[in-house]
Structure formats: C-alpha cells, structure tokens
Amino acid sequence: MLQIQQIHGQAALLTLLGLVTLKHFLADFVFQTNAMARSKESPTSWFKALAIHTLIHASMLFAIITLVSIKLWWLSLVDLFVHACIDRSKTLISQRMKVSPADAQFWWLLGFDQFLHQMTNIFIVFLIIDLQP
C-alpha cells in the first residue's frame, strides 16, 4: 500500500488537499441527512445533530491523518471544533437575518460558510505537512 509519507512536495500537498476536500464534500453533502441538516437549524434541539455532523467530519479527517502520522490525531479535534463554530455561527446569523433559500443573502451566507470550511481545510493540510515527523 502506498503511504502518504512516500509522496513529497507538491504531490503530497495536492493529494492531501484532494482527500480533505473529498472528506468535506462527503461529510457535508452526502452523509448529512435532511433531518440532520434541519435539526442543526433548530433554535432548541440543535446540539445533537451538530455533534453528530462534526464527529463525522472529525472521524473522516482522522482516517486521512492516519495515512500521514497518528501523532497528528489532535488535528481531528481542531476540525471538529472549528467546523462546529462555523456551522453554528451560520445558523445563528441566518436566524437573526430571517433568511431562507428564497433570499440571495441565504446563498451568500452558505457560500461564505463553505469558504470558511475550505480555508480551515487548507490550514489543516498545511499543519499536516508542516508538523509531520
């Protein structure tokens, strides 16, 4: 089996970015059910759905990190915490602005949410490459 440690330089960067971006797509759009997405938006019962959603993200990142170095496992917790903060902030702003998918501002907010997630992913990939033994 090819280990990520055998890949160097730009190839390692692109491989990790591809894997982390795929992880984000799967966790945010494929593995997140409609019920989970709606529950995250609930004013009162949002925590469980958000916790499950961010645990999926963290678990998938953990699997990717094990290809590089198990010593960097804690980056999965960083992803969990940051993803939860971004998603919860988006929900609170959306509720305060009273926007729905019929409003352009809803899509701007969703786009900014995805931008922040991708910036987080880029930063995590930078840390994986920079901190690997």
d(CA 60, CA 73): 11
| pLDDT tens per residue, range 72-97 | 999 999 999 999 999 999 999 999 99
Q: Which residues contact 116 (CB under 8 A, 6 or more apart)?
A: 86
Does 4 map to a domain?
no
Does 120 map to a domain?
yes
Does 81 map to a domain?
yes
Does 1 map to a domain?
no
pLDDT value of residue 24: 97
* Number of domain units in the chain: 1
d(CA 7, CA 127): 16
Residue-range definition of the domain harbouring residue 112: 10-131
| pLDDT tens per residue, range 23-75 | 999 999 999 999 999 999 998 899 999 999 999 999 999 999 998 889 999 99
Instruction: Answer yes or no: is pLDDT of 7 > 70.
Output: no
d(CA 36, CA 99): 19
Does 54 map to a domain?
yes
d(CA 41, CA 91): 6
Q: What pTM was computed for the model?
A: 0.90
The 3-state secondary structure of 42-83 reads CCCCCHHHHHHHHHHHHHHHHHHHCCCCHHHCCHHHHHHHHH
Does 76 map to a domain?
yes
